[in-house]
Every structure is written in structure tokens, then in C-alpha cells.
């Protein structure tokens, strides 16, 4: 009898185990080593989640952005491990999510992210985090991103214009600034029915494809959590930009409710 109970427990455990590897999607960079979290006492805890394809995540999101946030006084942890990310989402004060690693779409990570926002803890969806990156997980775009992008202009120059000068996220940000980046077509084709509305804080100059501006920084209208979308961020030409650093720091402060 004991043997059968043990076998049954094993089968249940296997049934609920997360399927598939943690890396190896099309174009994905290698999964870096996962290091234990070491939060500094007395500081706002910021979890930065990255990883996937088409970007140097470790360098720009893991090094540059982490350095920017640490210089602003936050304690920061960067991870590309879906299980560690899921485990830390509940305890971080702010989560900055930029991953497009397909293997993040697991039951454990989904639950952790939605438990977070439904408990009132906010997130910043950054650059590839604002993409329609998970075909089997439309809820992340509908409820958290407030839509998303399915394409972008070729990497090149455009301007970002502030549209809500009075908002805290725009403090210290120029009314208009130049970038070399991917101009994301955020909600260019319209958002699916049921998608949470967004309030645009800054927008691009007209894209080449659509000949109209697109949201660049916005707030998603979520009933419980503070959520910010930032479409900027392909490489060092944005991550090193003072205007971008100001937006990231301001968004982190606002999401934390400071």
C-alpha cells in the first residue's frame, strides 16, 4: 500500500512539473548562471527579468540598467531563470520585465506574475517585454502590457515627445529627445477586445510604416497594480541615454509608490 501511495505522489509531482528546458528558443542567447539573491537591507527591492533573442540582455538590461537603478539607491537582482524569477516576483517591490525567452510561458511563472499584479504590486514592461511575444499567453498583453507591438521600423533615428509633462514618470525628462532605436508599432493595428486601456506619457515621431506616432512610454489601466510600459531599449544608444535613465528611475519610483 505504501508503495502505491509513493508512486501516486510521484506521478502527481511529474504532472505538475514545468515542461521543457529553460533555454534554447529560436535565436535565444545562452542562459547565464543563476546566482542567489542578496537584497540589501532597508532599500527598495527591484527584480529585473531578462533573456531571450535579438538583444544583448546580460549587457544592457543586466549590467547597464542594473547599474542605473543601483546608482539611484535601489537594491537590484537580475535573472534570466524562469523559476528564480517566479520565486522572487512576490517579494520584490518592483519588477522590471524585459524577457522574450519563450520558455518563460509556464504555469508557475504565469501564476507568479498574475498573483503579483492582482495583489497590487506593480511592474515595468520594458522593450521586448511589450512585444506580443507569447502566442499562447494573450492575457499578459491584454491585462498587463495594455496591447503590444508586432513589428518595428528598422533600427534607426527618431524622436520621443513627452505628452504628459505633469506626470511623475516624466520628471527631468526633456520635452523631446532623439534616439537610435527600434520604433515599436505599439497598438498600431489596434488592441484586441478586452485589452486594458493605456494612458500615453510619451510617443514617437511618425513611423516609416504607418506614418503616425506610436506610444513610447505609457501606464496600463489595471484595477490593482501600477504598471508602466516602456517601448525603448534595444542597445547602448538608449540604455546609456540620460533621458532613458530618468524614465527608468522615475518609473521604478512610481511603481514602488514612493
CATH of the domain at 240: 3.40.50.880
Q: Looking at the domain assignment, is residue 24 inside a domain?
A: no
Q: Looking at the domain assignment, is residue 171 inside a domain?
A: yes
Q: Looking at the domain assignment, is residue 75 inside a domain?
A: yes
pTM for the whole thing? Answer: 0.92
Give the pairing type, strands 215-220 and 198-204.
antiparallel
Give yes or no for a contact between 52 and 29, defined as CB atoms under 8 angstroms apart: yes
Q: Looking at the domain assignment, is residue 140 inside a domain?
A: yes
- What pLDDT is recorded for position 19? 55
Q: Looking at the domain assignment, is residue 9 inside a domain?
A: no
Give yes or no for a contact between 101 and 52, defined as CB atoms under 8 angstroms apart: yes
- Cα distance between residue 236 and residue 59, in whole Å: 9
- Cα distance between residue 76 and residue 133, in whole Å: 25
What is the span of the domain harbouring residue 214? Answer: 40-255
Higher pLDDT, 23 or 183: 183
Q: What is the pLDDT of residues 20-70, one digit of tens each?
A: 788 878 889 889 999 999 999 999 999 999 999 999 999 999 999 999 999
pLDDT at 4 over 90: no
Q: Looking at the domain assignment, is residue 232 inside a domain?
A: yes
116's enclosing H/E stretch is helix 107-118
Q: How many domains does the chain have?
A: 1
- What pLDDT is recorded for position 18? 56
pLDDT at 80 over 70: yes
Q: Please give the average per-residue pLDDT across 169-192, as a whole number.
A: 97
Q: Looking at the domain assignment, is residue 128 inside a domain?
A: yes
HSE-up of residue 81 (Cα within 13 Å, Cβ side): 13
Q: Please give the average per-residue pLDDT across 84-104, as a whole number.
A: 97
Q: Looking at the domain assignment, is residue 17 inside a domain?
A: no
φ/ψ of 104, rounded to 5, equals -75, -15
The residue length of the chain stands at 258
- What pLDDT is recorded for position 9? 35
Mean pLDDT of the chain: 92
Amino acid at each position: 500500500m505504501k508503495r502505491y501511495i509513493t508512486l501516486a505522489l510521484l506521478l502527481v509531482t511529474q504532472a505538475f512539473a514545468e515542461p521543457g528546458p529553460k533555454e534554447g528558443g529560436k535565436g535565444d542567447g545562452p542562459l547565464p548562471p543563476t546566482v542567489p539573491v542578496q537584497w540589501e537591507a532597508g532599500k527598495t527591492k527591484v527584480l529585473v527579468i531578462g533573456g531571450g533573442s535579438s538583444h544583448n540582455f546580460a549587457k544592457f538590461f543586466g549590467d547597464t540598467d542594473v547599474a542605473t537603478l543601483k546608482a539611484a539607491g535601489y537594491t537590484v537582482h537580475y535573472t534570466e531563470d524562469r523559476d528564480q524569477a517566479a520565486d522572487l516576483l512576490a517579494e520584490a517591490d518592483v519588477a522590471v520585465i524585459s524577457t522574450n525567452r519563450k520558455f518563460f510561458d509556464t504555469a508557475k511563472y504565469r501564476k507568479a506574475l498574475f498573483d503579483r499584479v492582482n495583489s497590487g504590486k506593480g511592474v515595468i514592461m520594458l522593450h521586448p517585454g511589450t512585444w506580443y511575444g507569447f502566442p499562447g499567453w494573450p492575457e499578459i498583453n491584454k491585462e498587463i502590457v495594455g496591447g503590444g507591438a508586432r513589428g518595428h521600423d528598422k533600427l534607426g533615428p527618431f524622436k520621443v515627445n513627452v505628452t504628459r509633462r505633469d506626470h511623475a514618470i516624466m520628471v527631468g525628462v526633456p520635452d523631446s529627445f532623439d534616439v537610435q532605436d527600434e520604433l515599436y508599432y505599439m497598438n498600431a493595428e489596434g488592441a484586441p477586445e478586452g485589452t486594458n486601456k493605456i494612458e500615453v506619457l510619451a510617443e514617437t515621431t511618425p513611423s516609416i510604416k504607418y506614418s503616425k506616432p506610436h506610444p513610447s512610454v505609457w501606464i496600463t489601466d489595471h484595477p490593482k497594480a501600477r504598471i508602466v510600459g516602456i517601448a525603448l531599449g534595444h542597445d547602448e544608444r538608449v540604455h546609456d541615454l540620460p533621458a532613458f535613465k530618468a524614465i527608468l528611475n522615475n518609473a521604478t519610483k512610481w511603481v514602488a509608490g514612493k
